[in-house]
C-alpha cells in the first residue's frame, strides 16, 4: 500500500448516478467552537466543528476556521489528502495546516470538509475501483453539499470563494469545479491524483480523468506539482496537466524543482510555501479576491536562503564554542525535517517536526535567555555574522559603598542543580585604584534571572569567585578585565568579562 491519496477499498459499485445536490443551505450551527492559538503565536483564530447532513441523510464532519478579524469573510474550501485512509482507518479531522494558514493570513475563513468515511464523518468510504473519475465526482457531491450549507452562515461572503485541494483532495476539487458553487472564482490544486489499491494500473485513467474534468471546468486554476513526487512520476503528472489544460485553458502550472526527498510532502514544511505563494497571490488578484497578508502571524516563519556563513556540518563556525552548543547542534542534525536551530546568549533551542518550528523554537528560547537568533534551518546555515548574540565579551557595572568588598561568583550547573565543571577565571587587566583576589574554589549561590535554572538559585554550589576592594579614600570608577571558562572542555575559547566598579 502506498502512502497518501491511496484507498484500501477493493469493492466495485456497479451503478453510479450523479444528481446535483440542493444548494439551499439549511440552518446549521457548530457542535463546538473554541479560540485556538498555535504554540509560539499570540493571535488566535476560531475553530468551529460542524456535523452536516447531505442529501441521503449521511452526516459529514467539517471544520471552519475564522480569522481574528471582522467578517463576513471570503471563503477558502480546502479538501485534504487521504493518507492510508481505509475501511478500518478513518484518519484524523483536518484543521490548521500551512495551506489553511496561507488563506487565514489573507483574511479568509477556511472550510475543511471531511468526506464520508473520513475522520468522524458517517458513511462508508466512497470508491469505484479503477473508475477514478467517478470516485472524484461522487465525493465532490458531498463536499459541494457541505460547502453549500456553510456559505449560508452570516460570517461567510458567498460571493467570494476559492477552492483548494491536496493530493486526493485535489482530485476531488477538480470534479467539484465542474459544477462550482456560484461564488467560486478560482481553484488551486496541489499534486491532484488518487490511487486505489484495487486498481493496479491507473495511469491512463488519471490522464483521461484529468482531460474529462478539465473539459467540464472553466475556473482559473493553479496546478502545483514537484519533480520528485513519490506518487506520480514526472512524465505522468505533466501529461495529466496537459490533458487538463486542453479542456481548461485557464490553467497554469507551477513546476516545483525536486523538493527534499519527496515533493508530495511540499505542504508539510514552511520551505514548501516558497515555490507557489507568489503565483497563488497573483491568481487571487487576477480574479478579484484578497491576496495580501493582513494577519501574517497565521503563517509559519519561513527561513531565508543559505547565508554562506558556514557549511551545515562545520562545527568550527558555531558562534559559540563550548561543549553544550556542540551537543545541541549534533542533536539538531539528527532531527528529521523540518528543523530549526536557535542560538541565544547562553542557551540553544531546537525546533523540529511540529507546526512552525522556527517560531516555536524562538518562543522557547526567549523564555530562558536573550538575543535568540536562527542559526540553521533544515539543510542550510542562515546565520549572519553581524547578528551574533553570543558575544565573547560582556560588560557589567557594579556600584559599591566605600570600604566594602564586591564579590562576583561564577558557577556552571546542570538542570538538576549539580556542578557541571569548575569555571576557571584569569585576571587580564588589574584595577588601577584597588585590589582583586581570584578565588579558584568557592561556595556560593547562582543568580539566574530567567529560565529553568532559576530554581537552583537557593542551593549552595561550588564555583570560582572574584573579589574587588577599592583603595582607601578612593571614590569614582575603577575597572577590571578577566576571562572565564565557558565549557567543560578547557580548550574552548574563554569569555572575556569586563567590570566597572563605581565607588560611592
User: Cα torsion for 235, 238, 240, 243, to the nearest 10°?
Assistant: -120
Q: Quote the CA–CA distance of 29 and 150 in Å, as a whole number.
A: 9
Residue 20: band (very low, low, confident or very high) from pLDDT cuts 50, 70, 90: very low
Contact (CB, 8 A) for 263 and 199:
no
The model's pLDDT over 244-277, given as tens digits with 9 standing for 90+, comes to: 999 999 999 999 999 999 999 999 999 999 999 9
Burial of 309 (0-12, 13-18, 19+ CB in 10 A): middle
Q: Over the Cα atoms of the chain, what is R_g?
A: 30
Helices (H), 310-441: 323-334, 357-366
Query: Structure pTM?
Result: 0.83
Q: Is the pLDDT of residue 9 over 50?
A: no
**In the chain, % of residues over pLDDT 70:** 91
Q: How many CB atoms lie within 10 A of CB 67?
A: 22
Helices (H), 184-304: 203-215, 234-247, 277-286
Alpha-carbon torsion (421, 422, 424, 430), positive or negative: positive
Q: Which one-letter DSSP state was computed for residue 167?
A: T
Q: Is the pLDDT of residue 389 over 70?
A: no
Question: Residue 493's closest CA among 381, 391, 411?
Answer: 391
Q: What is the pLDDT of residue 365?
A: 93
Q: Quote the CA–CA distance of 441 and 284 in Å, as a whole number.
A: 68
Residue 46: band (very low, low, confident or very high) from pLDDT cuts 50, 70, 90: very high
The model's pLDDT over 66-78, given as tens digits with 9 standing for 90+, comes to: 999 998 999 999 9
Helix (H, G, I), strand (E, B) or coil at 444: strand
Go through the chain and tell me how many residues it has.
504
β-pair type (476-484, 495-503): antiparallel
Cell numbers that stand for 418 in this block: 549539580
Q: Quote the CA–CA distance of 270 and 258 in Å, as a whole number.
A: 15
Q: What is the pLDDT of residue 89?
A: 64
The residue-averaged pLDDT of 41-53 equals: 95
Q: Quote the CA–CA distance of 39 and 78 in Å, as a whole number.
A: 23
Q: Quote the CA–CA distance of 205 and 240 in Å, as a whole number.
A: 10
Q: Quote the CA–CA distance of 437 and 427 in Å, as a whole number.
A: 9
Q: Quote the CA–CA distance of 205 and 202 in Å, as a whole number.
A: 5
Q: What is the pLDDT of residue 387?
A: 52
Q: Is the pLDDT of residue 178 over 90?
A: yes
Q: What is the pLDDT of residue 85?
A: 59
Q: Is the pLDDT of residue 370 over 90?
A: no
Chain-centroid distance of CA 417 in Å reads 34
Contact (CB, 8 A) for 188 and 267:
no
The model's pLDDT over 204-245, given as tens digits with 9 standing for 90+, comes to: 999 999 999 999 999 999 999 999 999 999 999 999 999 999
Q: Is the pLDDT of residue 88 over 70?
A: no
Q: How many CB atoms lie within 10 A of CB 192?
A: 33
CA angle 242–248–253, rounded 5-degree value? 50
Q: Average model confidence (pLDDT) for the chain?
A: 90
β-pair type (339-343, 59-66): unpaired
The residue-averaged pLDDT of 53-67 equals: 95
Q: Quote the CA–CA distance of 194 and 169 in Å, as a whole number.
A: 9
Residue pointed to by grid coordinates 556542540: 326
Q: Quote the CA–CA distance of 502 and 86 in Å, as a whole number.
A: 74
CATH number at 37-298: 3.40.50.1820
Q: What is the pLDDT of residue 450?
A: 80
What element of type H or E holds 314?
none
Q: What is the pLDDT of residue 201?
A: 79
Q: What is the pLDDT of residue 385?
A: 84
Q: Is the pLDDT of residue 4 over 60?
A: no
Q: Quote the CA–CA distance of 16 and 19 in Å, as a whole number.
A: 10
Q: Where in the chain are the domains?
A: 37-298, 315-387, 393-503
Contact (CB, 8 A) for 169 and 160:
no
Q: What is the pLDDT of residue 8?
A: 37
Q: Is the pLDDT of residue 447 over 60?
A: yes
Q: What is the pLDDT of residue 80?
A: 84
Q: What is the pLDDT of residue 7?
A: 42
More confident call, 81 vs 271? 271
In this structure, whether the domain defined by 393-503 belongs to CATH 2.60.40 is answered with yes
The residue-averaged pLDDT of 39-48 equals: 93
Amino acid at each position: 500500500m502506498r502512502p497518501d491519496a491511496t484507498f484500501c477499498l477493493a469493492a466495485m459499485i456497479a451503478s453510479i448516478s450523479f444528481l446535483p445536490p440542493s444548494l439551499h443551505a439549511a440552518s446549521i450551527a457548530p457542535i463546538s467552537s473554541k479560540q485556538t492559538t498555535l504554540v509560539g503565536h499570540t493571535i488566535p483564530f476560531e475553530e468551529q466543528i460542524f456535523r452536516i447532513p447531505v442529501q441521503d441523510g449521511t452526516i459529514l464532519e467539517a471544520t471552519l476556521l475564522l480569522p481574528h478579524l471582522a467578517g463576513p469573510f471570503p471563503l477558502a474550501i480546502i479538501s485534504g489528502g487521504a493518507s492510508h485512509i481505509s475501511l478500518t482507518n478513518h484518519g484524523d479531522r483536518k484543521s490548521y495546516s500551512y495551506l489553511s494558514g496561507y488563506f487565514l493570513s489573507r483574511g479568509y475563513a477556511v472550510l475543511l470538509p471531511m468526506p464520508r468515511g473520513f475522520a468522524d464523518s458517517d458513511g462508508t468510504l466512497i470508491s469505484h475501483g479503477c473508475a477514478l473519475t467517478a470516485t472524484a465526482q461522487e465525493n465532490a457531491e458531498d463536499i459541494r453539499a457541505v460547502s453549500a450549507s456553510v456559505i449560508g452562515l452570516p460570517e461567510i461572503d458567498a460571493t467570494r470563494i476559492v477552492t483548494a485541494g491536496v493530493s486526493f483532495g485535489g482530485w476531488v476539487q477538480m470534479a467539484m469545479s465542474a459544477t462550482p458553487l456560484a461564488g467560486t472564482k478560482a481553484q488551486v490544486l496541489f499534486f491532484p491524483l488518487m490511487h486505489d489499491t484495487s486498481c493496479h494500473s491507473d495511469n491512463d485513467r488519471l490522464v483521461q480523468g484529468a482531460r474529462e474534468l478539465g473539459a467540464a471546468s472553466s475556473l482559473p486554476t493553479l496546478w502545483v506539482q514537484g519533480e520528485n513526487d513519490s506518487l506520480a512520476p514526472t512524465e505522468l503528472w505533466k501529461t495529466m496537466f496537459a490533458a487538463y489544460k486542453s479542456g481548461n485553458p485557464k490553467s497554469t502550472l507551477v513546476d516545483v524543482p525536486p523538493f527534499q526527498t519527496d515533493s508530495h510532502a511540499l505542504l508539510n514544511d514552511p520551505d514548501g510555501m516558497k515555490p507557489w505563494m507568489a503565483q497563488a497571490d497573483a491568481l487571487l488578484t487576477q480574479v478579484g479576491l484578497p491576496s495580501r497578508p493582513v494577519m501574517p502571524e497565521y503563517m509559519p516563519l519561513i527561513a531565508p536562503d543559505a547565508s554562506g556563513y558556514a557549511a551545515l556540518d562545520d562545527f568550527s563556525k558555531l558562534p559559540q564554542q563550548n561543549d553544550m552548543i556542540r551537543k545541541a547542534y549534533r542533536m539538531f542534525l539528527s532531527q528529521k525535517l523540518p528543523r530549526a536551530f536557535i542560538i541565544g546568549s547562553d542557551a540553544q533551542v531546537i525546533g523540529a517536526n511540529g507546526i512552525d518550528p522556527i517560531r516555536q523554537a524562538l518562543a522557547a528560547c526567549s523564555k530562558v535567555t536573550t538575543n535568540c537568533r536562527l542559526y540553521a534551518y533544515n539543510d542550510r546555515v542562515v546565520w549572519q555574522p553581524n547578528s551574533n548574540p553570543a558575544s565573547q565579551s560582556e560588560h557589567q557595572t557594579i556600584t559599591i559603598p566605600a570600604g566594602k568588598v564586591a564579590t562576583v561568583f561564577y558557577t556552571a550547573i546542570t538542570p538538576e542543580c549539580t556542578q557541571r565543571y569548575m569555571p576557571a577565571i584569569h585576571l587580564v587587566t588589574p584595577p588601577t585604584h584597588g585590589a582583586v583576589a581570584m578565588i579558584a574554589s568557592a561556595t556560593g549561590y547562582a543568580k539566574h534571572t530567567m529560565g529553568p535554572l532559576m530554581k537552583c538559585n537557593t542551593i549552595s554550589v561550588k564555583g570560582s569567585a572574584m573579589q574587588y576592594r577599592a583603595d582607601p579614600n578612593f571614590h569614582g570608577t575603577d575597572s577590571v578585565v578577566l576571562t572565564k571558562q565557558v565549557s567543560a572542555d578547557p580548550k574552548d575559547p574563554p569569555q572575556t568579562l569586563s567590570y566597572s566598579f563605581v565607588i560611592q
